[in-house]
Structure 1
């Protein structure tokens, strides 16, 4: 009647049942407003308990943690009941809807973001490619990165104008388990040494734990620990992935700990006559938000021994 269009619609995990794969008059799409952004947090199949849709239907579609299983939402129903002061109703409600509710919790946090955390997202062909580091970085013109949530519209319209009005910009990010959810993203490249000592010792099964440091002596601000690639590490192997933890303004050193995975039921993991350890040639860490890159090495090529953190700096390389 008035030929008017709404300025903005933000869809918080739009429902899948009866709406997914339907035409625009039935469900939300890009024609509903000048700017439509969508936050997908519970996009698993409905038969598996997912309430939200997978389809990209906005100008910008955000998929935190891949858009399905959200960190912090894997507790048992009894834990949720306990957190709800024993209320069975509220506990079960949170248990069933935790992933779904994350959409509005994330969006509310984006309205007044922490100045020490930029809440940045990155475009990529899939979440798997995103976490494996295949499309890390914002690009020469910063066109691959959009701030998450409330402040994304201003950036989108400044960068793209009307160029992407008929397609969706698919954006990924990793969050924390609890509020505040915003985290900084880091691409880690680990190169296992191929020296005689490393090859003689052989490969190891375990996980590397990282802390990013703002000072080279390890006495300044440091990030929370974050795990990276749990599995078999072979001599000469190259391992790449994206992790998320606190933003560190100046990358000066990287603290790395090796955690060996042993099993009573797997004789191949038994270490009776030798100490579980891994030899690293070098480690490169890149910060998405701060556009920083640092390559560090172990002092005198010392191996990482199970359970003993080691501070690595640039000058050791």
Structure 2
């Protein structure tokens, strides 16, 4: 297997639930899954914690070991750590989460692009792996 480059575009939801939850600080990791259920390694989109707020859109280039086929789904995880000195990271009554509207995953090697979303527009909760699939996306332009 060889390395494959992906352009991963992340959109943080601007839904009322996301806005009510507010911004959060953490890191997002992604595992890509192909049609044979082969998985890539777990890749962080950023090396350091990042401040995400509702409506944010960003694209990152990510290199992973190829599985031999383009991805058809992804597992996303929100990595979150409370920092005593940063009140933005304090979540006293509930788990930290992030409302991801979608991930667009494009590959030059495979000449493919898919968009995956969380089921029922649920948030990605800290340290819980969340399956994201194209069929969970509502129609977007």
Residue matched to 1:188:
8
* Structure 2 unaligned blocks of 5 or more: none
Match of 1:315 among 131, 135, 138: 135
Task: Give me the whole-angstrom Cα distance separating, in 1, the residues matched to 2:70 and 2:109.
Answer: 11
CA apart distance, 1:271 = 1.1
Provide Cα deviations, 1:73-129, integer angstroms capped at 9, x if missing partner.
xxxxxxxxxxxxxxxxxxxxxxxxxxxxxxxxxxxxxxxxxxx31xxxxxxxxxxxx
Residue matched to 1:302:
122
Could you list the structure 1 runs, at least 4 aligned residues long, displaced by more than 4 angstroms after superposition. Answer: none
Match of 2:39 among 198, 204, 222: 222
Residue matched to 2:100:
280
8 Å contact kept, 1:299–1:316: yes
Task: Give me the whole-angstrom Cα distance separating, in 2, the residues matched to 1:234 and 1:280.
Answer: 10
Provide Cα deviations, 1:161-217, integer angstroms capped at 9, x if missing partner.
xxxxxxxxxxxxxxxxxxxxxx211110000001110000001100110001013xx
Alignment of 1:119-158 (within 5 A): none
Match of 2:59 among 234, 240, 261: 240
Greater RCO structure (CA 8 Å; 6+ sep): 2
CA apart distance, 1:303 = 0.5
8 Å contact kept, 2:24–2:88: no
More helix by share: 1
Q: Please tell me whether Structure 1 or Structure 2 has the larger radius of gyration of its CA atoms.
A: 1
Task: Give me the whole-angstrom Cα distance separating, in 2, the residues matched to 1:291 and 1:206.
Answer: 31
RMSD (Å) for aligned C-alpha atoms: 1.3
More strand by share: 2
8 Å contact kept, 2:11–2:58: yes
Residue matched to 2:28:
208
Provide Cα deviations, 1:271-308, integer angstroms capped at 9, x if missing partner.
11232001111110111221111101111001000000
8 Å contact kept, 1:207–1:261: no
SS at match of 1:185: strand
Name the TM-score, length of structure 1 as normaliser. 0.41
* Structure 1 unaligned blocks of 5 or more: 1-115, 118-182
Name the TM-score, length of structure 2 as normaliser. 0.89
SS at match of 2:71: coil
